[in-house]
Amino acid sequence: MQKLHLLIFAILCFASFHAGLCAQSLPSETCARPSVGSIVPEPQDLRSQNGILKVDLTVRNTSEAGQSARFCYISADGSESPTLRLHPGDLLILDLKNDLADPDHATVIPNQHHLHAVAVNSDAPCMSGAMTSISTNLHFHGLTVPPICHQDDVLKTSIQPSDPPFEYRFRIPAGEAPGLYWYHPHIHGFSKAQVLGGLSGAMIVEGIERANSEVAGLPERVLIIRDQDLLNPNAPPNKSEPVVPKMLIDHDGDAANTGAGFGKPAKDLSINFVPVPYPDYPTAVIKMKPDERQFWRVLNASAITYLNLEILYKRARQQIGIVALDGVPVNTNGALPNSVLWRDHIGVPPGGRVEFIVKGPPAGVPGLFVTRTVDTGVGGENDPNRAIATIVATNDAPEPHSVLLESPEPLVPAGAPWLGNVPPVRTRKLYFSETLLDPNDPNSATTFYLTVDGQTPAPFDPSADVPNIIVKQGDVEDWIIENRSTELHAFHIHQVHFLLLDFSGAPVDEPFLRDTINVPFYNGKTLQYPSIKIRLDFRDSNAVGTFVYHCHLLEHEDGGMMGVIRVEPAGVAEAGSHELSTKKPPVRATGTN
């Protein structure tokens, strides 16, 4: 419909004596996307000035016959999904205008998921709680900012198209780790649709070269990998692919895991909005000068797709130097000030981020940026091998428009003890599980659960006022998270980071923090459910309040796989129940690390 309007507008202008004036005011396509095979564009940088970043964003969408809905954040200058760059201590003032349109009506949370719709109250976005297909809000993923209205609340804050621009206003904490964060909507029941349609953007807390001088002076590149509905859903596989078992549909309605590393993917991928569609995967293009060292900041903004990233030159895996994960430098514990983790691949769950040093290929050597297959379990989606971008070494490659400082002042170490050295005050167990609406139909609707051990499994209820977990600010806790389903899940918690201690029964010695982590799937054979063990940091006073933890596969989150935690101020009586053991009194400290 929009293309028809544009055509009529152009014809009228052509017939007018004021064709030149009309051409200047010809409206651009809503949520435009680069063409297949394009050079990867860089998102527009919006940088703080004198300690303040003022941003105006408008949320828009478009839908045309035969195409999936597209969503976009548009800044005042017309750029899409700008990168927000701030320093610790800077003030962000972001006015968000909701211009979403539904050609029919605002769909309410589907009843088949046993979720309760909350009545719309567009006069009070802070307490609205409205969850419809044209409601929106913002979550600042990974930042340690308070979970309150106008900052990072997603439980009640809901902005409607009839509302005036809604102001988000908060300071980046002085102790926030320098690195890559991101912003996206968090409207329960509709997060998947909006993120899958393109609502996501990067945030950077500046100063990573102060935390690790190995990246000082390097040009940096922000790469956002998103997923989207298949552009060619009915196409047969490429003839160059090996024959795979017959394509099946999983109970989420997506292409099921083939177990072969090939076959139709559940979703297409894009890189900085350049689509890389099934079945031929025509790659986007990244140009670098021969042998140039760059610092890549990669965000997996997918709604459901896991990534397993690597770089190939002449089909040989290349070493990448990992400097930060999930916004936190890997040398956070201070043991090795300028340490870099050199690896030949890195897994990145939906919502995860990785920042690494890469050396470009020599002149004339072909390069590929790829994602390898991820085994998501027999109940999971198909995330097969596929190339994302071709890396071209050429002397005329333009430099990225952002370069890290060459001679930075070293970052002052965090004042709080390293999380790994702080004993937990208690240990809890949680578990992922799923049930089919019709147990006899593997393709029937699924209800998803994330349950605290000892509580009755129930999907997330946005109308409930009682949190699943209560802790006190100052506490450090260990959580064991089991997966009792046959598909991979990605655990994420708002406001805080955590340390991975154990994965699939094996102790892990990682000197860095995360905010999103895969939980291995149950194969139906082992005597115990697979699990992870993490140490969570509730010492920061910014974590006081009520917020959520959930699976970051957004169709699972929308389907009920989410819980609520309340962090009470230090000094209140008694933390929550459902503790497995109490070890030592709370450790009182400030800061995030």
CATH of the domain at 363: 2.60.40.420
Query: For residue 582, what pLDDT band results from cuts at 50, 70 and 90?
Result: very low
Share of the chain above pLDDT 90, in %: 76
Per-residue pLDDT, 252: 82
Residue 149 token pair: 């209205």
pLDDT tens digit string along 349-406? 999 999 999 999 999 999 999 999 999 999 999 999 999 999 999 999 999 999 999 9
Per-residue pLDDT, 65: 67
* Residues 119, 262: Cα–Cα separation, whole Å: 45
Whether residue 222 sits in one domain with residue 197: no
Domain for residue 206, yes or no? no
Domain for residue 409, yes or no? no
Per-residue pLDDT, 28: 60
Q: How far is CA 212 from CA 128, 161, 162, 408, 445, in A?
A: 43, 44, 46, 10, 47
Per-residue pLDDT, 414: 74
* Residues 320, 391: Cα–Cα separation, whole Å: 14
- Who contacts 114 (Cβ-Cβ below 8 Å, separation ≥6)? 447, 459, 560
- Sign for the pseudo-dihedral over CA of 408, 409, 410, 411: negative
Per-residue pLDDT, 396: 96
Residue keyed to tokens 């860095």? 512
pLDDT tens digit string along 196-233? 999 999 999 999 999 999 999 999 999 999 999 999 99
Contact 233/104 with Cβ under 8 angstroms? no
Domain for residue 174, yes or no? yes
Domain for residue 514, yes or no? yes
Q: Which residue has the higher pLDDT, 587 or 103?
A: 103
Query: For residue 246, what pLDDT band results from cuts at 50, 70 and 90?
Result: confident
| Res. 251: pLDDT tops 50 | yes
pTM of the model: 0.90
Contact 330/322 with Cβ under 8 angstroms? yes
Q: DSSP states of 145-191 as a string?
A: --SSTTTT--SS--B-TTSPPEEEEEEPPTTPPSEEEEEE---TTTH
Query: For residue 92, what pLDDT band results from cuts at 50, 70 and 90?
Result: very high
Span 289-315, average pLDDT: 98
Query: For residue 112, what pLDDT band results from cuts at 50, 70 and 90?
Result: very low
Span 522-534, average pLDDT: 94
Please tell me whether the peptide bond between 279 and the residue prior to it is cis, using omega within 30 degrees of 0.
Answer: yes
**β-bridge pairing 201-205 and 83-86:** parallel
> Rounded mean pLDDT of the chain?
89
| Res. 446: pLDDT tops 90 | no
Ramachandran region of residue 571, left (φ > 0), alpha (ψ -120 to 50) or beta? left
Per-residue pLDDT, 104: 59
Whether residue 155 sits in one domain with residue 262: no
Per-residue pLDDT, 105: 55
Alpha-carbon 252 to chain mean position: 20
Span 448-462, average pLDDT: 96
Span 550-575, average pLDDT: 90
Domain for residue 13, yes or no? yes
User: In the Cβ-directed half-sphere of 312, how many Cα atoms lie within 13 Å?
Assistant: 16
Q: How far is CA 566 from CA 185, 238, 293, 490, 587, in A?
A: 21, 50, 44, 21, 18
| Res. 9: pLDDT tops 70 | no
Per-residue pLDDT, 103: 58
Whether residue 519 sits in one domain with residue 427: yes
Virtual torsion, Cα 123, 545, 47, 515, nearest 10 deg: -130
Query: For residue 118, what pLDDT band results from cuts at 50, 70 and 90?
Result: very low
Whether residue 385 sits in one domain with residue 248: yes
Share of the chain above pLDDT 70, in %: 87
| Res. 6: pLDDT tops 50 | no
Whether residue 175 sits in one domain with residue 197: yes
Whether residue 376 sits in one domain with residue 514: no
Whether residue 146 sits in one domain with residue 90: yes
Structural domain tally of the chain? 4
Per-residue pLDDT, 436: 86
Per-residue pLDDT, 442: 66
Per-residue pLDDT, 513: 96
CA geometry: angle 463, 464, 466, nearest 5 deg: 155
Whether residue 279 sits in one domain with residue 233: yes
Whether residue 550 sits in one domain with residue 457: yes
Per-residue pLDDT, 581: 39
Domain for residue 591, yes or no? no
* Residues 18, 191: Cα–Cα separation, whole Å: 44
Contact 198/31 with Cβ under 8 angstroms? yes
Q: Which class for 559: exposed (0-12), middle (13-18), buried (19 or more C-beta within 10 A)?
A: buried
Residues of the domain holding 6: 1-30
Q: Which class for 347: exposed (0-12), middle (13-18), buried (19 or more C-beta within 10 A)?
A: middle
| Res. 19: pLDDT tops 80 | no
pLDDT tens digit string along 511-522? 899 999 999 999
Q: Which residue has the higher pLDDT, 273 or 2?
A: 273
Virtual torsion, Cα 116, 430, 482, 506, nearest 10 deg: 150
Length of the chain: 593
- Sign for the pseudo-dihedral over CA of 289, 291, 293, 295: positive
Whether residue 109 sits in one domain with residue 143: yes
* Residues 355, 111: Cα–Cα separation, whole Å: 40
Q: Which residue has the higher pLDDT, 455 or 118?
A: 455
Domain for residue 291, yes or no? yes
Whether residue 371 sits in one domain with residue 232: yes
- For residue 431, the one-letter residue type is Y
pLDDT tens digit string along 37-66? 999 999 999 999 999 999 999 999 998 766
Residue 439 token pair: 């147990």
Whether residue 258 sits in one domain with residue 165: no
- Who contacts 326 (Cβ-Cβ below 8 Å, separation ≥6)? 142, 179, 352, 353, 497, 513, 514, 515, 516
Span 292-307, average pLDDT: 98
pLDDT tens digit string along 326-335? 999 999 886 6
Which 3-state string (H, E, C) describes 362-409?
A: CCCCCEEEEECCECCCCCCECECCEEEEEEEECCCCCCCCEECCCCCC
| Res. 572: pLDDT tops 90 | no
